[in-house]
A and B are shown apart, each in its own frame.
Chain A
Amino acid sequence: MRKFLILLAVFLFFTQNFLSAAGTGEKGAKVDPKDKYVSVMAYWGGDEEAGFREVLKAFTAKTGIPYIYEGNRDMGTLLNLRIASGDPPDIAMTSSPGTMARYAKEGVIKALDGSDPILPKDILNKNYSQAWIDLGTVDGKFYGLTVKCNSKSTFWYKPASFKALGVSPPDTFAGLLEIADKYLAAGKTPYSIGGGSTWTLTDWFENIYVRVAGPEKYLKLFVTHEVKWTDPSVVKAFGYFKEIVYPENKLAGGVEGTLSTGFIDGFDVILRKNPGAEMYFEGGFMSSFAEQNFPKLVGGKDYSFFAFPEIDPKWGKPVVGGGDLAIVFEDRPNVRELIRFLASKEANTIWATAKKGAVVSPNKNVPLNVYPVLKGLEAAQVTQAESFVFDGSDLSPSAIGGDAMRIALQNFITDPGKLNGILKTLEAAAERAYK
């Protein structure tokens, strides 16, 4: 028995040591003279982390201020815990404007444009268009600096095919429909839609809706549900979508083909040798699939994109997409240094040209020629955007954006005539979800 106890003690001793050693595995975490370091928490790992570390290293080289980076895939939970225990990181990166707004209202994050501003207005205005300032603003105060972003308002086409048809990228929705008609007349199918991956359909709707009703109503539909799914603005937006999907000879494989085609296959359809269609709509990230599946084709030449066209001149071409915002928990000189650095042309150029994990920067002073062609196009689109809204289906409860809305859109494509019933069902689901 005594032997057993001794063994147990030894065992416990070692496991304790092992566990505590594992706990401090992160670089430099043992040292804790808090005001010396700037700590940043983000959910990035792998390439994304590597790209950001390049920026942080440049920051340390420039200012002599060391940093601590904490990467955690499940950051949301951890951040809440750290805030609750009074030990938040200095800066955190969030991909959710909703989370930022909640923290702002709870008073746990600092406004960056106070009387003694953490990030002076002139730096902000010099580097960012109004769309990005609006995105980081809660109740008139600026809280979130967008550090990277991506666009889901990219409409893919083949320049050679457009040339053969005698058209150029359309500026308006009517122009897009004209091109589709010309393709039909030429015996070709205009659109491919990866409607089997149902979220592609929500992206379609979001782009149309924000162009029909504007960013404010968009947020009211998806985030707060102040606008109901039976609202005339929604019906109107579906009307525009109908122009795309009806009659079904505009779609590669018709309705059923659309509903059984995944988002990558959908793009392949327009790129392969005997293309099933000529245009495809999905986010800027599609280029990476094209590179892998069609290594012989050249991005920007064989395939490229134009901005999802304008519907109502009042709203122009808002960009639907995603991004990460830096929010600040502690106001110290070193933290100010880093935030100002992150807003600078210098830092954003480093990040945009990082060896691994290069990003599209919302900073308008990053020269577009530092990007590969398609990334440069995407950067031009996001830096010049009149307004930027996050992917609405991601902002809404998952029972809506991840389920009911997708079924509704699939049903709509199958039978546009049943729109009223479809919207009623969707609204009923929404009433349950936003309760």
Chain B
Amino acid sequence: MIERKNNLYAWLYLLPALILIGGFFIYPVIQTFRLSLYSGLGFNPTRFVGLKNYVQLLTNDKLFVSWFPPSGALFNNVLWLLLYPLGVVGTGLIVAVLSDRVKYEPAIKAVIFLPVMISATAASVIFRFLFSPNPVIGALNAFLVKVVPGFQAVPWLGRASLVNFATIIAAVWIGTGLSMTILSAAYKSIDRGILEAAKIDGANGRQLFWRISLPMMANPISFVSVTAIIASLKVLDLILVMTDGGPRGKSRVIAFTFYQEVFRNHYTGYGSAVAMLMLLLLFPLMVVQIKRLKKEKI
């Protein structure tokens, strides 16, 4: 009897969370899946087409995915997935560790952290200027033209082979601040006694870092990595402002395709199929993240 009452209370306490999850996650997902089976314009498409949207998306939409040679939004996102977390964690870690050794640490950190407070839209505009092919506007080209003899201005955002790297660099610039802060805190919380002991035992700087500091920061690093991976799969605003998916659609990613199809082309069903694929890719990451949050502290 007592147990049943407890059960009831448990459910009662869970209710608000369940309502929120149900209303804002599960229901929309079901609805999106339903939409993805229809074709037509607007949010009330009427033509049921089954899995045709998925087939079209994966076999006949070169802008989304072209399997051989691999290109399209899906593979661009793979590039993001590989490079963005690497960039954010790598630079964050380097800054966190190196700045710990200098006096003006707070100043360095403040500068690196600054971009976090700028909206992605504004940052994208900054980078658009920076990357402009016109040396009068584009600082990067102006610099290279001055410094490297015979250098021809490069249209960083107009060349299909460069554009994804250019956008990723911009994203890393924005994202490093936060990862640096988290990793720096982790680095500082390492017990100095352990490092001292290792030093006395004859470990050099490199060994200290790779054998002691890094393993002791494993948790925060994996937290930052997973967050970055999720961010790389969801990236949209930056691309929208910096390149609008161009040139020739070569910088599109999954979220961009979703936005383009639903809100610009009004292909709600088709766009929903894109969203479902995105969710499918994100789902394992969410599970990993939640599991980790459950058992470990950051």
Q: Spell out A's residues near B (CB within 8 Å).
A: 196, 198, 253, 255-261, 265, 269, 272, 274, 276, 397-399, 402-403, 407, 410-411, 414, 425, 428, 433
4 shortest interchain CB distances as A-B pairs: A260-B158, A399-B265, A259-B247, A256-B158
CB of B133 within 8 Å of the partner chain: yes
Chain A residues lying within 8 Å of B260, measured Cβ to Cβ, are 403
A198 and B159 contact, CB distance less than 8 A: no
B265 and A260 contact, CB distance less than 8 A: no
Smallest CB-CB separation from A428: which chain B residue? B60
Chain A residues lying within 8 Å of B133, measured Cβ to Cβ, are 253, 256-257, 260-261
CB of B20 within 8 Å of the partner chain: no
> Given that A253-B158, A257-B155, A269-B134 are contacting pairs, would A407 and B63 also be in contact in the complex, using a CB cutoff of 8 Å?
yes
Taken residue by residue from 131 to 171, chain B's Cβ proximity to chain A (1 for < 8 Å, 0 otherwise) reads as: 11110110000000000000001011111000000000000
Smallest CB-CB separation from A403: which chain B residue? B265
Cα distance A345–B247 when bound, in Å?
47
Cα distance A429–B260 when bound, in Å?
14
Cα distance A257–B138 when bound, in Å?
12
Cα distance A276–B133 when bound, in Å?
11
Contact residues of B between 213 and 246, Cβ < 8 Å to A? 244, 246
CB of B62 within 8 Å of the partner chain: yes
Q: A256-B247, A402-B264 are in contact. List 6 more A-B contacts (CB 8 A).
A: A196-B246, A259-B246, A260-B159, A274-B136, A411-B248, A428-B60
Interchain nearest-CB distance for A363 vs B (Å): 36
Contact of B137 among A196, A258, A265 (CB under 8 A): A265
Query: 12 A-B contacts, Cβ less than 8 Å apart?
Result: A196-B157, A198-B244, A198-B246, A253-B155, A257-B158, A398-B266, A399-B266, A403-B264, A407-B248, A411-B248, A414-B248, A425-B62
Contact residues of B between 241 and 298, Cβ < 8 Å to A? 244, 246-249, 260, 264-267
A196 and B248 contact, CB distance less than 8 A: no
A256 and B155 contact, CB distance less than 8 A: yes
B158 and A196 contact, CB distance less than 8 A: yes
Chain B residues lying within 8 Å of A198, measured Cβ to Cβ, are 244, 246
Cα distance A199–B260 when bound, in Å?
15
Contact residues of B between 3 and 58, Cβ < 8 Å to A? 41
A402 and B265 contact, CB distance less than 8 A: yes
A272 and B136 contact, CB distance less than 8 A: yes
Contact of A256 among B63, B159, B244 (CB under 8 A): B159
A399 and B267 contact, CB distance less than 8 A: yes
Chain A residues lying within 8 Å of B249, measured Cβ to Cβ, are 407, 410
Cα distance A397–B267 when bound, in Å?
11
Chain B residues lying within 8 Å of A414, measured Cβ to Cβ, are 247-248
Question: What does DSSP make chain B's interface, helix, strand, loop or mixed?
Answer: loop
Chain B residues lying within 8 Å of A253, measured Cβ to Cβ, are 133-134, 153, 155, 158
A265 and B246 contact, CB distance less than 8 A: no
A410 and B266 contact, CB distance less than 8 A: no
B134 and A410 contact, CB distance less than 8 A: no
A258 and B158 contact, CB distance less than 8 A: yes
Cα distance A407–B248 when bound, in Å?
5
Cα distance A330–B249 when bound, in Å?
48
Chain B residues lying within 8 Å of A403, measured Cβ to Cβ, are 260, 264-265
Smallest CB-CB separation from A198: which chain B residue? B246
Cα distance A276–B247 when bound, in Å?
20
B246 and A410 contact, CB distance less than 8 A: yes
Cα distance A274–B136 when bound, in Å?
10
Interchain nearest-CB distance for B239 vs A (Å): 13
Cα distance A198–B246 when bound, in Å?
9
Chain B residues lying within 8 Å of A260, measured Cβ to Cβ, are 131-133, 155-159, 246-247
Smallest CB-CB separation from A407: which chain B residue? B249
Cα distance A425–B66 when bound, in Å?
14
Contact of B134 among A259, A265, A402, A433 (CB under 8 A): A265
Cα distance A397–B134 when bound, in Å?
34
Smallest CB-CB separation from A409: which chain B residue? B248
Chain B residues lying within 8 Å of A397, measured Cβ to Cβ, are 41, 265-266
Chain B residues lying within 8 Å of A256, measured Cβ to Cβ, are 133, 155, 158-159, 247
Interchain nearest-CB distance for A167 vs B (Å): 26
Smallest CB-CB separation from B247: which chain A residue? A259
Chain B residues lying within 8 Å of A411, measured Cβ to Cβ, are 248
Cα distance A399–B244 when bound, in Å?
15
Smallest CB-CB separation from A274: which chain B residue? B136
Chain B residues lying within 8 Å of A265, measured Cβ to Cβ, are 132, 134, 137
Interchain nearest-CB distance for A226 vs B (Å): 20
Smallest CB-CB separation from A410: which chain B residue? B248
Chain A residues lying within 8 Å of B157, measured Cβ to Cβ, are 196, 260
Cα distance A35–B136 when bound, in Å?
61
Cα distance A196–B63 when bound, in Å?
17
Interchain nearest-CB distance for A272 vs B (Å): 7
Chain A residues lying within 8 Å of B266, measured Cβ to Cβ, are 397-399
> Given that A198-B244, A260-B247, A403-B260 are contacting pairs, would A276 and B265 also be in contact in the complex, using a CB cutoff of 8 Å?
no
Cα distance A400–B244 when bound, in Å?
16
Chain A residues lying within 8 Å of B60, measured Cβ to Cβ, are 428
Chain B residues lying within 8 Å of A402, measured Cβ to Cβ, are 264-265
Chain B residues lying within 8 Å of A407, measured Cβ to Cβ, are 63, 248-249
Smallest CB-CB separation from A254: which chain B residue? B155
Cα distance A142–B132 when bound, in Å?
49
A259 and B155 contact, CB distance less than 8 A: yes
Most buried by B among A256, A402, A403, A411: A256
Interchain nearest-CB distance for B251 vs A (Å): 11
Cα distance A258–B155 when bound, in Å?
9
Cα distance A433–B260 when bound, in Å?
14
B134 and A276 contact, CB distance less than 8 A: yes
Cα distance A425–B62 when bound, in Å?
9
Cα distance A274–B137 when bound, in Å?
13
Cα distance A282–B112 when bound, in Å?
41
Chain A residues lying within 8 Å of B153, measured Cβ to Cβ, are 253
Taken residue by residue from 57 to 74, chain B's Cβ proximity to chain A (1 for < 8 Å, 0 otherwise) reads as: 000101100000000000
